[in-house]
Each structure stands twice: as C-alpha cells, then as structure tokens.
Structure 1
Amino acid sequence: MPVVFGLHKLLFFLTDPFAEPFRELSVFEITVQNAGLLLFSFVIVQGSVRITNRLNQRLPWSPTPALRALVQVLAQLFLATVWIFIYQSIVVWILFDQNIFAILNSAAFTPEIRFVIWRFILASALVSLVTSLIVTGRNIRMHTAEMKIQAAQLKETALQAELQSLKLQLDPHFVFNNFSTISALIEEDKTLAQSFVENLSRVYRYMIQHIHSDTITLQKEIKFIESYTYLIFIRHGNNVKVSMHIPENLMQKEYHLLPCNC
C-alpha cells in the first residue's frame, strides 16, 4: 500500500508540479488529502488481492494463463474505475454539498477544479494499471514457481516408482543365491568367479536398461538368456538342462519381442 500511495502522489505532482493547490494548501488540507489517498490506496490493494483470490478459485492459471491474465487486468481496471468514481463523488459532496452529476454544470465547477479532478483521475488510472500489472506479474511468478515444484514432485514420484519397480524385478533370493555362489567361486576358481560376475552384471544391466522398454530385439534377448542360463548352470551344474535352437535367418533380422521379466 505505501508503494501505491507514493506512486499516486508522484504522478499527481508530475502532471503539474507548479499548480496552485500544491502551493496554497494548509497543513490540515494536505493531511485530509493524504488520508483520502491512503484510503484510495488501501481499497485498490485490497481489491486486487480479493480479485486474485477469487480468480484463483474460479479461473486458475492452468490451463489458460493468457485468459487468466486478461481477466485479472480487466477486473482490476473495472474495480479502479468504480472506486475512482465513488471517491470523486465523495470529494465533490464534501466540498460542494452536491452530487457529482449536479456539480458538473455548476458555476462552482471551475476549469481549475476540473483540471485537478482530471489530474487525479489520470494519476489514479495509471496507478491502478501499474498495480494490476504488479499483482498479475506476482501471480504469474508464483504460479510458475508452483508449477516447477509440482513438476519436481511428479519427477520424484516417477523416480520412486521406477526404483520400486526395479526392486520388484531384483528378486532378493536370486541376489542372495548368486552372491553366495560368487563367494564360493572366489575361493575355488577365481577365473570362473570373474566369468560369473560378468554374466551376472549382464543380467542386471539388461533389467535396468530395459525397465521401460515395450519391446526388445531378438539378439539382445538371446544374449540375456545365455547370460542367465550360464548363472543357472554354474549354480546347479548338470541338474539343469537348457537347449535353444534359433534359425540363422532369424538372427540376421531385427525381430522385436516383449522383454523377459525375471
């Protein structure tokens, strides 16, 4: 509100800094004038806030920010126009004890008074426009920040869902059994242990890289199956039998199929 009050005083002064009213007003008259401007500023600011709060409920910034900005500016200009008329009517009634329409054609309504009133209206309109732009800009900035926060929250939710999906794919029994096998192989055969770790890494790389894939090439799927069966063979030996027969012509083309879920 102090900004609106100061801006109004500045614009009103700049329109005619050497006007008689500025040089001949008494302290009391200046005090009354400033009190009126404070009231004017209070109504403009509070009206802008109420308009913003109401529009936030009835016409949010999403999904039509341009329409919201236009309605916001028009609503606040309408408020300013109505309040300027009411304010000037009160001033005229106090000074001349008549309504504003009756005084327009009165002899008391001199060109000097008319000029002062129009200066006030012009300054008030400019202040209202600036206030509207400031409030609208502030709302746009707050809305943008809110959208960024929501986007970050959605991204975090997606990452958590992805992590949970990955956890579900990594069977804890499968992980435990393979780590136990690695521990045993390190003591018995380090070369075999290294080969086991390499194939285990291929299996997990496959699951991580294709967690969101709808399809996968046949060649990649075959390599995954080979790595996976290798782990099974090392753990269970001759107790497991796996055979694959894939025609050569299929391997030469890029066929796509659903990825394997382990």
Structure 2
Amino acid sequence: MKRRDFITLCWISLATSMFFFFVFTDEKTVQNFMLTIVISFMYSFILWTGNALINDFLNKKFPWSEATTKRAILSIISILIANVIMVYFCNYMNFVVFQKSATTEEYFSGKYNFTNWFTINIALLISAFLHAKGFMEELKKTSKKEVVEQKLIAKSANAQFESLKNQLDPHFLFNSLNVLSSLIDENPKQAQKFTASMSKIYRYVLEQKDKELVTVEDELEFAKTYCELLKTRFEDSVDFVFDVKAENYRKLVVPLSLQLLLENCIKHNFATSSKPLVIKIFSENDTLCIENNLQVREQIKESSGIGLSNIVQRYALLTKRNVFIEKSEDYFKVKLPILSAKPQEINIKIDDENKAYERAQKRVKELKSFYGNLISYCIVIPALIIINLITSPDDIWFYWPMLGWGIGIAAHGMNVFAIGKSWEEKKIREILEKHHKF
C-alpha cells in the first residue's frame, strides 16, 4: 500500500469511528471510544487492503488491456468470495471477540445475517470502487504508452526516410563526377555534352529527392535522359530497351529508383562493343522491372551498397509490398512495386487514423462517464443507507434509490461495454444488406 493511500485510509477510519461513537454509542467513555477506533480500523484495513491486494494481483496476472472479459469474470468471482469471507471474519471479531455481545454459536446461527448482508454490500461497493479506480489508472497508462510509442515510431520512420533521401545527393554527384573525369581524358567534346546533360539531370534530382513518390512517367523520362548520358560515354557498348505500358504511367514509384538501378547495372557489369550490356526497363504484373544480361566484372573495391538497399528501405517505409530481386546465370532483374495510391489517398489514410484516434478519445470519455457514475453510486448509496438507519430504522426506504440507480448503472454498463451497441450495429448491417439486395 502506498503511503498516501495509507494516510487516507487512516483518516477515513478515524472519521468513521468518531461518527459511530457519537451517534450509536450510548456510553461515551474513553474505553468505548478506543474500542470503536480499533473496530473501525479493523474493518477499514481488512476490507480495503484485502480488496486492494486482490485487485493488484489480478492487474499483474490478467491486465485489463490484455484480457478484459476474462479479467471482468475473475474480478466478480474473486471479490464475491473474498468479501463474504472478510465480512464474516470482521463481524465475528467485532461481535464475538471485542464487544462480546454474542457467542460463536449465536453468531453462526443466523442472528447476524442481516448485519452480514449489509456489511457485504458495503464491502462490494468498496471493491467496485477499487476495481474501477484500477481500471482507469491502467487505461491512462496504456493510452499514454501507446501515444508515446506511436510518436517514437513516427519520428524514427521520418528520420530514417530523411536519412535515406539525403544519401541520394552525394551518391549521384560522386558517380557522375567519376564518369565526367573519365570522359575528359577520353573525349573532351563528349565531356562538354555530358556536363550539359548532367546539369539537367541533377536539377531533376534536386526537385524529386524530397518527394516520397513520383509518377512512373516522370521517372521514365528522367531515366531516358540519364540513359542518353550513359550512351554518351559507352556508345555501342550499352543498349537500352524501354517497354512500359501506358496504363502504368500515372501510377507511382519511389523517385530516382531507376537511376540508382541503372548505375548498379553499369557498375557491376562490364560492357564492350562485342559484348554489349543490354538493359531492359519494362512493366510486368503491376511492377516496374529493370533487367540486364549478366556480365559480372571483378570489383576492384568493395561496393558501398547504397543503391539497391536504399530503394528497398524506402519502399519498406511506404508500403508492405516488397522489392523482388531475381538472379540467374544469364540475367539480373529487380522488380519495383508500382503503387496506385496517390498523395491525396495517403492523406485520407492519415485522416482515417485521426478519426480512429477521435473514436478512441470518445471511447475513453464513455468509460470515464460509466466509472464516474459507478463511483458516485458507491459513495451516495452507503450515505443514504446510514441516513435511513439513523433517522427511521423502522421504515426502510433506501432499497428504492439503490435498486433504481443500480438498474441505471447496469444499463449504462451494457451500453458502454458494447452489449447494446453491437446489437445496434448488427441491425444496421442487416438493414443495409437488405437495401443493397433491392
């Protein structure tokens, strides 16, 4: 038990003992006052601590967030059994041991059945309050944990995506300058032409690198320009074949993916006029394929691994569809998923997530409303019972508000825990299905 809860329980016990001493005790003596305090503390600590221990044990073994239905059933069974045992023990200690107003035989003969029943109801109210309090605390912890986890995931994904995009600038520039350096010695005129083309291509790199997706058409136009650049250097040693269906032009791919894969083809394969490297770019079953005949060259230095791994990781952050790689003795092929979702549809998905969060907030408010109602019941009804027994013990009227409000709470609980809502949703689905049939 926490120190704050212990202090609160002490004050409640002291207030209860003073109330019973001044209202129900005939002989106002120090001995009776001390006895009342002992009895009050006994009831408070046994009933409160017992129910708190049961609640803590169930929280550890069967958390509300993981097994709600199972936890609810176990809570009901455990608190009923435990509270009956604790109440019979406390009343036995009170009437038989401390006050000596009854013998053990008289106590178990049924003389104190009403007292036991009344005390059990009070204990059940205390237990309901504790379980409601525990549920709300766990709900808050779970909500905070989920919010923190989602923020961390979003930040991590965003940082990872930015890091991957930032690899493109230096990677492209480094490779292009290497090509230009080779051309300056081999063919100065071609080097001038290459420089002019490179400036156009680099402009596209700067424009598109910060985008998550670009159209297949834009990426193909860029790839064709880049292929002309490569053709300037390799001439007849490299051939390019484009065969992409027009129906895929408005669909989406990761930007600069073709450029990175074309670089890989040149980098890892030798190309001569007698054995030209043939690179094919075509569409196949909702994928954009880049295939080349395999003419593996010996690597002088270890590959940086930026190209293909960059594409795979960027696709992984945007879609569940995978980048497929096929390799045989004759060819090497990479299949890029072609995505049909437009940026507007991505925003719709984000809106749907926001709506889901709003629904979750509404659900939390409904739960808080129910448990607020339950806690109020646990406080007000015992107060009404005490007032009734003090003012008119011969005229028992507290049953009516207890039953009426109790039925209201039961109906509220059925509605909040989707017993009523599931029936409503089922009827709505049935009506909609009939409507669609006609």
- TM-score, normalised with respect to structure 2: 0.41
Is the 8 Å Cα contact of residues 17 and 36 (structure 2) preserved in structure 1?
Answer: no
Report the structure, 1 or 2, having the larger helix content: 1
**2:71 paired residue among 48, 68, 73:** 68
Instruction: Tell me the residue number matched to 1:103.
Output: 107
**SS at 2:139 equivalent:** helix
Gap regions ≥5 residues in structure 1: 182-187, 211-215
CA-to-partner distance for each residue in 1:2-22, whole Å, 9 max, x for gaps? Answer: 5456667889999xx999625
CA drift at 1:59: 1.9
**1:253 paired residue among 234, 247, 252:** 247
Letter in 1 for 2:107: I
Alpha carbons of 1:246 and 1:64: their partners in 2 closer, same or farther (altered >3 Å)?
same
CA-to-partner distance for each residue in 1:132-164, whole Å, 9 max, x for gaps? Answer: 322232233223333333444444454455456
CA drift at 1:88: 0.9
**SS at 1:96 equivalent:** coil
Is the 8 Å Cα contact of residues 84 and 124 (structure 1) preserved in structure 2?
Answer: yes
CA drift at 1:89: 1.3
Instruction: Tell me the residue number matched to 1:239.
Output: 233
1:209 maps onto 2:212 in alignment: yes
CA drift at 1:90: 1.1
For 1:50-89, list aligned pairs within 5 A: 50-72=53-75, 74-89=77-92
CA-to-partner distance for each residue in 1:167-220, whole Å, 9 max, x for gaps? Answer: 696385434456999xxxxxx9x9978634422225525xx524xxxxx97535
**SS at 2:247 equivalent:** coil
Is the 8 Å Cα contact of residues 219 and 251 (structure 1) preserved in structure 2?
Answer: no
Instruction: Tell me the residue number matched to 2:168.
Output: 170
- For the residues of structure 2 that align with 1:85 and 1:258, how far apart are their CA atoms? 77
**SS at 1:148 equivalent:** helix
- For the residues of structure 2 that align with 1:85 and 1:240, how far apart are their CA atoms? 96
Report the structure, 1 or 2, having the larger strand content: 2
Alpha carbons of 1:75 and 1:9: their partners in 2 closer, same or farther (altered >3 Å)?
farther
- For the residues of structure 1 that align with 2:29 and 2:43, how far apart are their CA atoms? 21
Alpha carbons of 1:18 and 1:59: their partners in 2 closer, same or farther (altered >3 Å)?
closer
- For the residues of structure 1 that align with 2:136 and 2:94, how far apart are their CA atoms? 32
CA drift at 1:57: 3.8
Is the 8 Å Cα contact of residues 221 and 259 (structure 1) preserved in structure 2?
Answer: no
- For the residues of structure 1 that align with 2:134 and 2:165, how far apart are their CA atoms? 48
For 1:147-166, list aligned pairs within 5 A: 147-159=146-158, 162=161, 166=164
Letter in 2 for 1:239: R
Instruction: Tell me the residue number matched to 1:199.
Output: 204
Letter in 1 for 2:142: H
Higher relative contact order (CA 8 A, sep 6+): 1
CA drift at 1:97: 7.4
- For the residues of structure 1 that align with 2:240 and 2:65, how far apart are their CA atoms? 56
CA drift at 1:87: 0.8
Gap regions ≥5 residues in structure 2: 180-191, 249-282, 291-307, 312-438
Instruction: Tell me the residue number matched to 1:184.
Output: none
Instruction: Tell me the residue number matched to 1:213.
Output: none
Letter in 1 for 2:246: Q
CA drift at 1:130: 1.9
Is the 8 Å Cα contact of residues 169 and 205 (structure 2) preserved in structure 1?
Answer: no
**SS at 1:209 equivalent:** coil
RMSD of aligned Cα (Å):
4.7
- TM-score, normalised with respect to structure 1: 0.62
- For the residues of structure 1 that align with 2:78 and 2:204, how far apart are their CA atoms? 68
Alpha carbons of 1:53 and 1:253: their partners in 2 closer, same or farther (altered >3 Å)?
same
Is the 8 Å Cα contact of residues 13 and 37 (structure 2) preserved in structure 1?
Answer: no
- For the residues of structure 1 that align with 2:14 and 2:116, how far apart are their CA atoms? 14
CA-to-partner distance for each residue in 1:18-59, whole Å, 9 max, x for gaps? Answer: 996256443432333233333333334433443344334432
Identity %: 16
